[in-house]
């Protein structure tokens, strides 16, 4: 089950999947429970209490229901099997900032909350293996969070594993970051990766940026973000110069 609001993919038993389908159609918890209870009996009651707890804890089914799916399911599944072009890895649920408009903040209940979970190497490796096995010539790997640099060691491990196992595929990497943790050392490491792009978030000048992009104690993050930007520009600037000469 793919949940649009949280972006989570949940593995379901047949019984749970039927229940979720029922719930989406009836939009009434009691009706969905009754209908599936008669079909699956005791097994349903055991599984469903965990499922309902999970729905609440992880904010599933909160976002507005998708009314129209443009591409046919069959085409999407075929693409995922034979022509996968990009995977996005949420390296961590944590962030060192608490931006006032963040979709993971408490006031946005349609999305997941900040958590403490970090991606494990086993999950990352399985995702990369799948991507390499089910893509054609090119695959793009994107790092996301929370703030992905809070799990920089895993990012490095994934990049190195991918480059070692990609055979003749073209792999590109990108990362969306708040820039505040982007040290000189990290910038110089990223420079060694042949195709790595960085998407950084800065809202505007210091006054504008610090209105919303703040640490948990309310302090603005502008200075740290600009320092991170400077580090990456200086490192990548060296590469640009090398290409020129």
Give the footprint of ligand SF4 on this chain (CB under 6 A). 95, 97-99, 102, 104, 145-147, 178
Q: What angle do CA 194, 201, 104 make, to 5 degrees?
A: 110
Taking the C-alpha atoms of residue 144 and residue 161, their distance in angstroms, rounded to an integer, is: 18
DSSP for 57-125, written as a single string? HTTTT-SPPP---SS-HHHHHHHHHH---EEEEE-BS--SB--TT-TTSTT-TTSPPP---B--HHHHH
Q: Which token pair is 200? A: 């950084």
Work out the burial of residue 149: count CB atoms within 10 Å of its CB; fewer than 13 is exposed, 13-18 middle, 19 or more buried.
buried
Q: How far is the CB of 36 from ligand SF4 (least distance, A)?
A: 36
177: which DSSP letter?
A: E
Q: How far is the CB of 108 from ligand SF4 (least distance, A)?
A: 10
Strand partners, 87: 141
Instruction: Give how far Cα 91 sits from Cα of 124, 152, 164, Å.
Output: 8, 9, 20
Q: How far is the CB of 118 from ligand SF4 (least distance, A)?
A: 14
Closest to ligand SF4 by CB, 15 or 155: 155
196 phi and psi, to 5 degrees? -125, 120
Q: How far is the CB of 53 from ligand SF4 (least distance, A)?
A: 26
Q: How far is the CB of 128 from ligand SF4 (least distance, A)?
A: 23
162 phi and psi, to 5 degrees? -65, -45
Closest to ligand SF4 by CB, 5 or 145: 145
Closest to ligand SF4 by CB, 99 or 141: 99
Closest to ligand SF4 by CB, 178 or 210: 178
Closest to ligand SF4 by CB, 48 or 209: 209
Q: How far is the CB of 218 from ligand SF4 (least distance, A)?
A: 13
Sign of torsion, CA 83 194 142 160? Answer: positive
Closest to ligand SF4 by CB, 44 or 104: 104
Closest to ligand SF4 by CB, 84 or 98: 98
Q: How far is the CB of 68 from ligand SF4 (least distance, A)?
A: 28
């Amino acid at each position: 089950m793919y949940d649009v609001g949280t972006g989570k993919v949940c593995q379901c038993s047949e019984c749970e999947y039927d229940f979720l389908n029922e719930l989406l159609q009836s939009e009434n918890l009691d009706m969905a429970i009754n209908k599936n209870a008669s079909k699956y009996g005791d097994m349903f009651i055991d599984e469903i209490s965990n499922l309902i707890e999970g729905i609440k804890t992880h904010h599933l089914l909160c976002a507005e229901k998708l009314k129209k799916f443009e591409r046919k399911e069959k085409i999407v599944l075929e693409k995922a099997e034979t022509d996968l072009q990009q995977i996005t890895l949420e390296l961590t649920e944590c962030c060192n900032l608490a931006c006032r408009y963040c979709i993971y903040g408490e006031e946005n209940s349609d999305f997941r909350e900040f958590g403490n979970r970090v991606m494990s190497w086993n999950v990352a490796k399985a995702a990369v293996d799948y991507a390499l096995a089910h893509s054609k010539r090119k695959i793009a790997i994107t790092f996301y969070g929370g703030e992905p640099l809070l799990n920089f060691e895993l990012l490095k491990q994934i990049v190195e594993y991918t480059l070692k196992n990609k055979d003749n595929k073209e792999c590109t990497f990108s990362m969306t970051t708040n820039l505040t943790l982007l040290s000189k050392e990290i910038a110089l490491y990223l420079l060694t990766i042949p195709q790595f792009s960085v998407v950084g978030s800065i809202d505007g000048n210091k006054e504008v940026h610090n209105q919303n992009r703040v640490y948990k104690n309310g302090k603005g993050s502008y200075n740290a973000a600009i320092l991170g930007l400077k580090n990456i520009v200086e490192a990548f600037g060296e590469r640009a110069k090398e290409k020129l000469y």
